[in-house]
A = this chain, B = another copy of it.
């Protein structure tokens, strides 16, 4: 079972209750009153655990698993070992997640301003919200109901935070309007001015960055991300978008809804992403371009041009994904054959 020091346990459930909560059909189960008490991956699961199988790649792990029960799609039922109760569902992973939250609900918190937190007199704190020790809340900040503000987090003047949003420890927020049910992980920096100046003969003049960061509902921002405020327009993150750790969004960047941005990605100023764009880790995107809805960008890509909706690119500079795969294959072929495949062209040999 998950370490009870860190993950309080809500109690066991019968297999019949598990089936009800996950909307799955119980199969190969002589006794639906048998109790289970946790979720676990196939390799680690014990008889008291529920596991899941979604991908056929893990059929071997299924065969070897000690799980007492398994969420599984209907077509794979015949592949399960005889001892295992089966919970047949079209969405095993999704229901595994839901069941995990049943056994280990997100910990609640006691509302109020903890000793050692500093909340400005003009700030408003919604019912059921908690401000942890050392947090500093500026003038005119508006925090909705049921929010959690982590220890030693700093929220500058006039920031707005929607209901049910959780902000981790040691975060800094300024010039931002945050939606409902967002989660901002520790160490994120949101709303500082961006990187812009005019370099002239008589010294550098910093551009005034007079925009905000607008974050819609249900957004997640990873640990130690940096999201600069807009320069005049706003920096925007659409509903349900998810940013992994150490992501950088420069001023005026706009993300649509449901985007997935993996760790250490950087997006330069004024670039606009549509909805449901997926970006692999460590990719960089230049400024002032447009990335269409549902575009998919491989990890470690360097994107220099617009991508149309549904486009898929990879490489640095990024090209259509098939072209990238071919160029990787060709370079590999060249490297394996050695330089002898390349004969000097006319008059070209002497430059090498």
Give the oligomeric copy count: 3
Contact B150 A154, beta carbon cutoff 8 Å: yes
Pairwise interchain contact A40-B152, C-beta atoms closer than 8 A:
no
| Other-chain contact of A240, B116, B204, B248 (Cβ < 8 Å) | B204
A56 contacts the other chain (CB 8 A): no
Give bound CA distance, A175 to B262, whole Å.
22
CB-CB under 8 A from A169, the residues of chain B are: 136, 154, 156, 172
Cβ of A118: which chain B residues have Cβ within 8 Å of it?
A: 115-116, 133-134
Cα A38 to Cα B210 with chains together (Å): 10
- How many residues does chain A have at the interface if contact means C-beta atoms less than 8 Å apart? 122
CB–CB A342/B335 < 8 A: no
Q: How far is the CA of A264 from the CA of B96 in the complex (A)?
A: 33
Given A248-B245, A332-B327, A341-B345, are A94 and B198 also a contact pair (CB < 8 Å)?
yes
Residues in chain B near residue A250, CB distance under 8 A:
244, 263
Q: In the bound complex, what is the Cα–Cα distance between A335 and B333 (angstroms)?
A: 12
Q: Which one of B140, B187, B286, B352 contacts A172 once the chains associate, using CB atoms below 8 Å? A: B187
Q: Are B226 and A224 in contact (CB under 8 A)?
A: yes
A186 vs B329: C-alpha distance in the bound complex, in angstroms? 43
Would you call A82 an interface residue if the criterion is a C-beta within 8 Å of the partner chain's C-beta atoms? no
Q: How far is the CB of A36 from chain B (nearest CB, A)?
A: 15
Q: Which of B133, B140, B151, B232 contacts A44 (CB 8 A)?
A: B232
* Interface positions of A from 273 to 324, Cβ below 8 Å from B: 281-282, 284, 286, 299-300, 302, 316-317, 319, 323-324
User: What does DSSP make chain A's interface, helix, strand, loop or mixed?
Assistant: loop
- CB-based contact A331/B341 at 8 Å: no
Contacts of A91 in B (CB 8 A): 198, 200
Q: Are A152 and B133 in contact, with the CB atoms below 8 A?
A: no
A210-B100 CB under 8 A given contacts A170-B152, A185-B189: yes
Complex contact A192–B204 (CB within 8 A): no
Known: A195-B222, A226-B224, A282-B284. A335 touches B346 (CB 8 A): no
Cα A193 to Cα B222 with chains together (Å):
9
Chain B residues with CB below 8 A from A316, complex form: 300, 316
Complex contact A263–B195 (CB within 8 A)? yes
Cβ of A193: which chain B residues have Cβ within 8 Å of it? Answer: 185
A317–B328 CB distance below 8 A: yes
- Given A41-B233, A244-B195, A245-B195, verify A302-B299 contact (CB < 8 Å): yes
A228, B245: Cβ atoms closer than 8 Å: yes
- Name which of A2-10, A13-21, A25-33, A72-80 contacts chain B: A2-10
18 contacts between A and B (CB under 8 A): A3-B175, A6-B157, A39-B232, A44-B233, A94-B198, A118-B134, A168-B192, A169-B172, A172-B223, A192-B223, A199-B260, A203-B240, A223-B226, A264-B266, A264-B284, A327-B332, A337-B342, A338-B345
